[in-house]
């Protein structure tokens, strides 16, 4: 099954980051009008996630041209559970996407990480990825284990 792609409104910034951690393409803009949001959703075939009940009453959405979901829950954990249930999402749990840029990560040989990650990390980790957009390095360290643990409780 093809993974859905998302676009989130201003009120769902943290949720966007967690969707990226789960392996989903989740676009999020800090400053965007409803019109622009709908435009991007339409062009890029993205599901709108919003907390704005007014937005989903637009004709283009009610007529089914664009899919949109209102997020009812207030806390991040509840939002994640709500979403995974309603959309039957899987957590891929495999560091695929930059949490800041929403760009797919590129696996790099360990040698390439050598001078770019802390020495302890280099010694203890074997696989590294790089965000081609912001240049951030990723590895499955302690932080990633905490993330996985949280996701285990969700999906």
Which parts of this chain interact with Zn ion (CB under 5 A)? 98, 100-101, 131, 133-134, 136
CB of 105 to Zn ion, least distance (A): 8
Instruction: State the CB neighbour count (10 A cutoff) for residue 98.
Output: 20
Least separation in angstroms between residue 2's CB and Zn ion is 24
Q: Which is nearer to Zn ion, 91 or 98 (CB)?
A: 98
Q: In what order do the strands lie in the sheet with 128-130?
A: 106-108, 128-130, 137-139
27 CB-side CA count, 13 A:
18
Shortest spacing between CB 9 and Zn ion, in angstroms: 21
Q: Which of 102, 7, 98 is nearest to 45 (CA)?
A: 7
C-beta closer to Zn ion: residue 50 or 128: 128
Q: Which is nearer to Zn ion, 7 or 131 (CB)?
A: 131
């Amino acid at each position: 099954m093809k993974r859905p792609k998302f676009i989130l409104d201003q009120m769902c910034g943290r949720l966007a980051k967690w969707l990226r951690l789960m392996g989903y393409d989740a676009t999020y803009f800090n400053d965007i009008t409803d019109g622009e949001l709908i435009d991007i959703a339409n062009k890029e075939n993205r599901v709108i996630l919003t907390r704005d009940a007014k937005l989903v009453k637009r004709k283009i959405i009610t007529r089914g041209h664009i899919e949109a979901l209102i997020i009812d829950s207030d806390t991040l954990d509840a939002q994640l559970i709500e979403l995974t249930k309603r959309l039957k999402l899987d957590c891929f749990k495999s560091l695929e996407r930059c949490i800041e840029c929403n760009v797919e990560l590129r696996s790099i040989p360990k040698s390439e990480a050598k001078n770019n990650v802390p020495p302890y990390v280099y010694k203890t980790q074997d696989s590294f990825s790089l965000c081609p957009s912001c240049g951030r390095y990723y590895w499955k360290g302690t932080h990633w284990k905490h993330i996985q643990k949280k996701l285990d409780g969700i999906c």
